Structure 1
Amino acid sequence: MRQKTGPQTSAAEKTIKDIRRATRKQHSSEEKIRIVLEGLRGEDSIAAICRREGIAESLYYSWSKEFLEAGKKRLAGDTARSATSDEVKALRRESRDLKEALADLTLENRVLKKTSMKVEDVTDTLDLALAASGCDRVKVEHRPRLLSDNGPCYVAADLGEWLEKCKIEQVHGAPGHPQTQGKIERWHQTLKNRILLENYFFQEDLEAQIAAFVEHYNHCRYHESLDNLTPADVYFGHGQTILLERERIKRETIKQRRLNHQTKAA
């Protein structure tokens, strides 16, 4: 029989909510900034950071949005009490650090963002991709395709002739629909969020850091969407072997734990 809800049940639920609200951990603005910056670095997934910090992912993204849009003032909270001198000094330091971080992100973004690309830039990049994949040396049944937006360099006749010569099909995204290139655009965001945390005074330093990030992203960083495998594991066909080995280790570990438990209980 279903129990009827009444005033007592509502009062109990309200009491539980009040207790949870009162015991909920309050994060300082410094802690929020630290957590947001950890996510921007891209070394760990957002889900892993939230589990480690004991917060919901929605709360992290709320902090991240406030960090990028409003900065320190909104992250500091909405309390109306008068701040102490120590708190004022701490907030000033946080404000200075936050302004420097945002200035670096804005400056580096302006430096890295190219206002225009030439057809030669596209063909040079494609030459590197073909050489890296080996498609320029061996005959493949399915030639790679070029998926691009409708930028001037991608709709130029010279590029069309080059692609036809290399027997590469070109696919354009719909105008005003950037979601077509959503995956690579998301990857570019992850790259920039990590790389632009530092200052680079020489082009060689920036290129080295980008190469290091690509190496880490493809060969070291586990991805939840890939069953906690690296992109290289999946690309080279090692994923299933690794997953089976993990299952074997898991079974052996559980078996050993049971034996240890039985031995202690005997």
Structure 2
Amino acid sequence: MSKKQLGDIHFRDPYIVVDQGRKKYYLYGSTGQNVWSGKALGFDVYESDDLAEWEGPIPCFRPEPDFWSDHHYWAPEVYEWEGRFYMFASFKADGIPRVTGVLAADQPQGPFEPWSRALTPQDWECLDGTLFVDNSGDPWMVFCKEWVQVQDGEMYAVRITRDFKEAVGEPILLFKASDAVWSVGGGDNQQNYVTDGPFLHRMENGELVMMWSTSGQEGYTMGIARSASGQIVGPWIQDPEPLFAKDGGHGMLFTTLEGQLCLTIHAPNKHPQERPVIFRLEEADGQFILLDQMK
């Protein structure tokens, strides 16, 4: 198995798990070669000691012949929870709306197996589910209802059971893509607004913020929404300026083994040039400051 640098890995929607026990990093993503069309092979993971060289790809999910979905395997996010590893990811089949489902494994490198078919409503076109645990220890999933169904993409939160099997109650609308002044509509009438890639983070000052991505003036753009209540239900207020506006996004935060806060996104957003990118960053007065890009 070869070792690669980030520039050699064709992933969209990168997600990095830091395993303190193993002293390893695990990188997941939407496989670039067949992300938009064609039958999906599954999900791969790369493993690293230092964030510079990555060993892989390691197949971590390959669907059995009777698995219901065969394309649009997108945005895998992996969480360690009560002794196991769970992957939230998007799945679709012809004639069946896209969902966020859950896979499970005993190790971060898999193999992952089907766990919950869908945590999103069966008649909604959804994607990019991300886990959030509230102050009471209850798990929620934040996800996008796609613009192809609602035109102005929507962001929702739904409480889920502790075993990640089912949703609890109805999804709660948090905001719409057009609520951000830096979101740019597309399509013939410029009214198609995208919601992508939510990621929740509790700032050092206690503020709850959400990274999310959409189309902007210079291509794919990622900005910040802030919960005025500090709770998942909001209300959510959009920052007036995006965090990253130069054709990159779908970001998440992680802290290195040495304690450095980092952001990973894919950039550019043009197929097939998408690659994972890592930036060091810091918090100051409730704001993120992008530092240098890791090479």
| TM-score tier (shorter) | under 0.3
TM-score (norm 2): 0.22
TM-score (norm 1): 0.24
Q: Considering fraction of residues, name the structure with more helix.
A: 1
Q: Considering fraction of residues, name the structure with more strand.
A: 2
Q: Looking at both structures, which has the greater relative contact order when contacts are Cα pairs under 8 Å and sequence separation is at least 6? A: 1
